[in-house]
């Protein structure tokens, strides 16, 4: 199970939605909690622009004017939801696991005003009464726990005391955050950094998922880092080699394949020679695929690493105008790569599939029927 929480600061921009969809697809999130959607209504078309495939469902809180709003989306093939609860500051779903164990997941977006924060803690306390046994909650709490979770330190506030009181009274686990010390920045010249985003869970929930890891991902297209809660403990090693059907569309593939097969030879008995040929062919196919179709994924990863380094430098020493412009250019470049990759796949997987997540059954039926008509030999009447 992979649960991702992210304050996206609005879903109005198409470029931003492309980047969000790309990140969710690459990270393989089963459940996504997005805060500050700035949308009064969440419709199917909007979900389709940020979620790959048609197997999805969601619950949401509408935005308050031009701010706020929370939506929780899940993959209906992997997650079975039996109940949902919508509050003023949170959305919660009850998930039925494959082992028969039920547990609750809540996505929260904390308010900024002190008065509303009292209502916020009261709402979470009520949720604890409902979900106390197996409960996981995550999101943007809009408050830090300790002075050390803020770059400019400062003194302890009433909101911090309330936050710690809530955690102490509910006995929730607040796991370590890997990958970053802070999750939000105001992106100014003398930047302020805070840890506003996190996941927490009950001890009974931790028994269900004992090997949980919370990580901060690279901050792209928002001033908040996405937070990934990964409960997958089994690592199956490197990805197996798979033949890509798109290779068959390249005009020089068959000729190259024939040459690679004929030139790769070794001594030994026939079974051993055949095995060595396949191994050599696999390496050549991988190299050719990278050179021919490019390495968009690698470039995206390099950009994310560079952005992360610039963020760390900004946090520690601040960035000059040139480096701040470099960071902005990298973000623009990332949006371009995501858009180019979207077009790349839509050309090979059919636009309807890329847009709607359709299996294109009717398309293949038409192709088969067309071939039947072309191959049919009509009996000539005398």
pLDDT tens digits, one per residue of 45-69: 999 999 988 889 999 999 987 788 9
In the predicted model, what is the mean pLDDT of residues 25-39? 93
In the predicted model, what is the mean pLDDT of residues 329-339? 84
Query: Looking at the predicted structure, is the pLDDT value of residue 238 above 90?
Result: no
In the predicted model, what is the mean pLDDT of residues 205-222? 90
Position 62 scores a pLDDT of: 92
Position 128 scores a pLDDT of: 92
In sequence order, the 6+-apart residues with CB closer than 8 A to the CB of 251 are: none
> Of 306, 358, 351, 360, whose CA–CA distance to 333 is shortest?
306
Position 314 scores a pLDDT of: 87
CB–CB of 90/110 below 8 Å?
A: no
pLDDT digits (tens, 9 = 90+) for 280-293: 888 888 888 777 66
pLDDT digits (tens, 9 = 90+) for 159-196: 999 999 999 999 999 999 999 999 999 888 888 899 99
- Could you give the CA distance from residue 60 to residue 41 in angstroms, rounded to a whole number? 8
CATH architecture of 2-230: 4-Layer Sandwich (3.60)
**Distances 197 to 113, 140, 204, 223, 348 between C-alpha atoms, Å:** 17, 4, 22, 12, 38
pTM score above 0.75: no
Specify the 3-state DSSP secondary structure of 321: helix
């Amino acid at each position: 199970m992979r649960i991702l929480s992210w304050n996206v600061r609005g879903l109005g921009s198409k470029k931003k939605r492309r980047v969000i969809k790309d990140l969710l697809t690459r990270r393989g999130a089963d459940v996504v909690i997005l805060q500050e959607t700035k949308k009064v209504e969440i419709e199917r078309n909007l979900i389709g622009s940020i979620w790959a495939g048609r197997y999805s469902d969601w619950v949401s809180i509408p935005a308050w004017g031009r701010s706020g709003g929370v939506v929780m989306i899940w993959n209906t093939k992997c997650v079975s939801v039996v109940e949902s609860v919508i509050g003023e500051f949170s959305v919660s779903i009850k998930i039925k696991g494959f082992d028969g164990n039920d547990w609750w997941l809540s996505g929260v977006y904390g308010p900024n005003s002190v008065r509303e924060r009292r209502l916020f803690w009261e709402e979470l306390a009520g949720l604890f009464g409902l979900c106390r046994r197996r409960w996981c909650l995550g999101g943007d709490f809009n408050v830090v726990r300790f002075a050390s979770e803020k770059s400019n330190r400062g003194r302890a506030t009433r909101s911090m005391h309330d936050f710690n009181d809530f955690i102490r009274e509910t006995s929730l686990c607040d796991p370590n955050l890997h990958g970053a010390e802070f999750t939000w920045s105001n992106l100014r010249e003398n930047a302020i950094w805070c840890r506003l985003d996190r996941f927490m869970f009950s001890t009974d929930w931790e028994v269900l998922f004992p090997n949980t890891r919370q990580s901060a991902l690279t901050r792209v297209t928002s001033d908040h880092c996405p937070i990934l809660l990964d409960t997958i403990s089994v690592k199956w090693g490197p990805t197996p080699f798979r033949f890509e059907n798109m290779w068959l569309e390249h005009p020089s593939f068959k000729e190259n394949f024939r040459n690679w097969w004929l030139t790769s030879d070794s001594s030994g008995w026939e079974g051993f020679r055949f095995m060595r040929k396949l191994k050599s062919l696999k390496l050549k196919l991988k190299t050719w695929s990278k050179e021919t179709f490019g390495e968009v994924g690698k470039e995206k990863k390099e950009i994310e690493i560079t952005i992360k380094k610039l963020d760390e430098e900004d946090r520690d020493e601040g960035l000059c105008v040139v480096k701040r412009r470099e960071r902005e250019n990298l973000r623009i470049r990332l949006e371009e790569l995501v858009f180019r990759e979207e077009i790349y796949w839509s050309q090979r997987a059919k636009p309807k599939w890329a847009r709607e997540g359709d299996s294109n059954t009717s398309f293949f039926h038409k192709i088969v029927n067309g071939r039947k008509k072309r191959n049919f030999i009509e009996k000539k009447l005398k």
